[in-house]
Amino acid sequence: MASAEGQPGAEAGAREHRHRLAVLASGTGTILEALIAADLPIVVVGVDRPCRARQIAEAAGLPVEFVARQDFSPSFDRDGYTAALIAALRRHDVGTVAMAGFATVLAPAFFPAFAGRVLNTHPALLPAYKGWHAVRDVLAAGETTTGSTVHVATSEVDDGPILAQQEVPIYPDDTEETLHERIKQVERRLYPATIRSFIESGGAATDGPTQSTIAE
């Protein structure tokens, strides 16, 4: 039903729209599994390569948009890829996007296309240790603590307002795999909760990040 801006009908429409969540993934999809288990209003899963995340989505009966990164190579056409992904998500009337281990850096046009309602989970305590190899880098630096960060994604990789963070201890015998799994255990709780409050609150900036320490 069409309604004038500012009318109750328009507010309900905006609320409904931001609850139309897309999840983007490239990997094993265990964060996606947690988002599904949390009953978030996922309307589509976007993947950029063949991956387990796609199988998880299909098994859950969710629509999948496979926008293959390799179709835009050899010299990666980032703008073309981003435009194709935007178009694919718009077919599902997506209002909020959650990146969950999505391995393609998107062009700046992606973020305003979803009104800045794009979230990311990163396996480190941002702004420290940005980048795809954050877990490896934190271990190489000899840190004793790291963590998980949920933030609003912007055109700067692993940047943007922080919504929630939680510390994770590093043990002397940790490998990249054991540490990443300990961080993911936190991500699987922190990300669904933060996405839920982001979409319930209208995607407004929070009063600041929530901070807590893993109790182990």
Which positions touch ligand GRF (CB under 6 A)? 27-32, 100-101, 121-123, 184, 187
Residues 6+ apart with CB under 8 A from 190: 121, 148, 150, 164, 166
Least distance (Å) between residue 13 CB and ligand GRF: 32
Between residues 24 and 113, which has the closer beta carbon with respect to ligand GRF? 24
Minimum CB–partner distance for residue 80 and ligand GRF (Å):
23
CA gap 25, 148 in Å, rounded: 17
Pairing assessment for the beta strands 145-152 and 64-66 based on DSSP bridges = unpaired
Strand order through the sheet with 64-66: 64-66, 42-47, 21-25, 96-99, 118-122, 145-152, 162-169, 210-213
Whether the ω angle into residue 127 lies within 30 degrees of 0, i.e. cis, is yes
Quick one: 112 exposed, middle or buried, by C-beta within 10 A (0-12, 13-18, 19+)? exposed
- Smaller CB separation from ligand GRF, 72 or 191: 191
Catalytic residue among 17, 19, 122, 180: 122
- Closest distance to ligand GRF from the beta carbon of 4 (Å): 41
122 has catalytic annotation: yes
Residue nearest to ligand GRF (CB): 101
Pull the structure tokens for residue 139.
């271990």
Q: Shortest gap between Cβ of 1 and ligand GRF (angstroms)? A: 38
Residue closer to ligand GRF, measured from CB, 14 or 167? 167
Q: Which amino acid is at 174?
A: D
Q: Which is nearer to ligand GRF, 27 or 41 (CB)?
A: 27
For the annotated catalytic residues, the residue numbers are 122
